[in-house]
Amino acid sequence: MNSELFQNMAPNAKRSFIVTITFAALATIIYLFCVQPSTNELETSRRNLAELQDKQYRTDLDLRRSSTVTKDLDELEAALKPYREAMLVPLLESYSMRAKSLLDPIALGAGLNDVTYSDEPFRALPLPKPMPRQLHTRAAVKLEATGSYQQAVSFLLRLEKEMPLVSLRQFDISAQQNPRSQSISIVLEWPAKGGLTRK
């Protein structure tokens, strides 16, 4: 629109034209600086919300699975417990002292008397290279006691049930006049942990 046409317009038309142009300019400014940024921000918020909902769904799924995993771990721990407890670790630098602490309740329950323990010589094991920090071997412990044949068998049965990794190497009974007080000698082999081989 040229200036002559604008000059020739009626005053009411001029006011209407100016108001229309002003509102159009305001609408453009509002759209560019308010509506469009808000729309973009809303779209970003929607995407972020969708991502958070997806993460929440995966987290809830993991939490539901965790109870199953925890139950499986508890069952595995219960199954491994006898084997962990069967691993012999020195007590006061003595395997027989540790064996005493573990076997005395079983021997007492079986009715054995005068129970003593001693270490037997180790079997030589080939060492891998490089040498590990922790050595594992089979430690032999000799148990000597007095009791009847039935009590000795009861002791071995209880030992087999409670410590399945312990194996019997030697079993001797020397006959005495009293059948309830036979001389019993048992050599047991244990899976054992040694000390650190290097710093």
User: Does position 107 have pLDDT exceeding 60, yes or no?
Assistant: yes
Note whether 137 and 189 are within 8 A (CB): no
The confidence score (pLDDT) of residue 91 equals: 78
Tokens of 122: 């180790």
User: Does position 14 have pLDDT exceeding 70, yes or no?
Assistant: no
Rg, C-alpha atoms of the chain: 43
Instruction: Give the whole-angstrom CA distance, residue 187 versus residue 172.
Output: 9
Indicate the domain borders of the chain.
Answer: 3-81, 95-196
Mean pLDDT over residues 155-173, rounded? Answer: 88
Instruction: Give the whole-angstrom CA distance, residue 114 versus residue 156.
Output: 17
Beta-bridge partners for 192:
88, 137
User: Does position 4 have pLDDT exceeding 50, yes or no?
Assistant: yes
pLDDT band at 72 (very low <50, low <70, confident <90, very high): confident
Note whether 188 and 164 are within 8 A (CB): no
1.10.3720.10, 3.30.2320.80, 3.30.70.60, 3.30.499.10: CATH of 95-196: 3.30.70.60
pTM of the model: 0.53
Note whether 146 and 184 are within 8 A (CB): yes
The confidence score (pLDDT) of residue 125 equals: 62
